[in-house]
Amino acid sequence: MVAKVLDGREIAKNYRAGLQEEVEKLKSEGITPNLTVVLVGNDGASQSYVNNKKKSAEKIGMKSEIIHLEETTTEEELLKVIDQLNNDTEVHGILVQVPLPKQIEETKILEAISPEKDVDGFSPINIGRLYAGMETYIPCTPLGIMEILKNADMSLEGADVAVIGRSHIVGQPVAKLLTDANATVTLLHSRSKNMKEVLKRSDVIVSAVGKPGLVTKEDVKPGAVIVDVGNTVVDGKLTGDVMYDEVAEVASAITPVPGGVGPLTITMVLNNTLLAAKRINNK
């Protein structure tokens, strides 16, 4: 068996084409979706990621601005910037790039962003809405994973799915989305005692740990679908959690790293910004 490559770049390209059409429609009504990203400090990876978001937004016709603050910015100063953006009617989506410098409490910043402009979906209010089944902004990586799975030629209805990693950003929300899609989900983590057993019987494995080599060929049921969210630099090379070459021999479909989940994460930031522009303007 040769696994189908779930090409995140291609899936994202097709999805963004649809977003671009909707953006153009809104612009014809005098509304230009606006994503503003706040970057504190000079972390190279964060700068690259932020620039990529800006370019991606502009490419589909959105307006995007980067507010770059010094590494020494205080928590109070950052909160003032967020307050200004919350009250700016021209800004629809606010995203604060993490990690933040040590003098700033990340939780306090996420709580300060207006839930109506929280396009990352990290606000405690939006997370609560997700679990209550209410209209909200879904965290972007989990939303991207669900879009990838639509391209895997399988039904999630009744499928056994293993999610490795229980973070509030990926593991837990994607487990909720998969459950809503009527899959039977097992959430695995560092304290799980029967991980190998669960993986071996799973129709889908989503690994979001950041531990290269975690999932091997021996862990995978023949024909399973593998979504690798791992993102670790090893010897200068971006590496996932899954032993790609060997697992691709038994899986029916698999995401590469890089080029799998990453492009969909940025795409869903754009998706949520478009939603925010619509909701704020009652469209």
Choice among 54, 63, 117, 120 that is catalytic? 120
Q: Would you place residue 2 in the very low, low, confident or very high pLDDT band (cuts 50, 70, 90)? A: confident
Q: How confident is the model over 29-34, as a mean pLDDT?
A: 98
The proportion of the chain whose per-residue pLDDT surpasses 90, expressed as a percent, equals: 96
pLDDT for residue 1 is more than 80: no
pLDDT in tens, 233-263: 999 899 999 999 999 999 999 999 999 999 9
Q: How confident is the model over 217-232, as a mean pLDDT?
A: 97
pLDDT in tens, 131-164: 999 999 999 999 999 999 999 989 999 999 999 9
pLDDT of residue 39: 97
Choice among 54, 63, 97, 176 that is catalytic? 97
Sheet architecture: strand order including 160-164: 4-5, 253-254, 225-228, 204-207, 160-164, 184-188
pLDDT in tens, 5-22: 999 999 999 999 999 999
Task: Please provide the CATH number assigned to the domain covering 139-261.
Answer: 3.40.50.720
Query: To the nearest whole number, what is the mean pLDDT of the chain?
Result: 96
Superfamily of domain 30-114 in the CATH hierarchy: Leucine Dehydrogenase, chain A, domain 1 (3.40.50.10860)
Q: Would you place residue 57 in the very low, low, confident or very high pLDDT band (cuts 50, 70, 90)? A: very high
Is 30-114's fold the same as 139-261's? yes
Sheet architecture: strand order including 34-40: 63-69, 34-40, 93-96
In the residue annotation, 97 being an active-site residue is answered as yes
In the residue annotation, 20 being an active-site residue is answered as no
pLDDT of residue 109: 96
Distance, in Å, from the CA atom of 147 to the CA atom of 143, rounded to the nearest integer, reads: 6
The proportion of the chain whose per-residue pLDDT surpasses 70, expressed as a percent, equals: 100
The residue ranges of every structural domain in the chain are: 30-114, 139-261
Q: Under DSSP, is residue 254 helix (H, G, I), strand (E, B) or coil?
A: strand
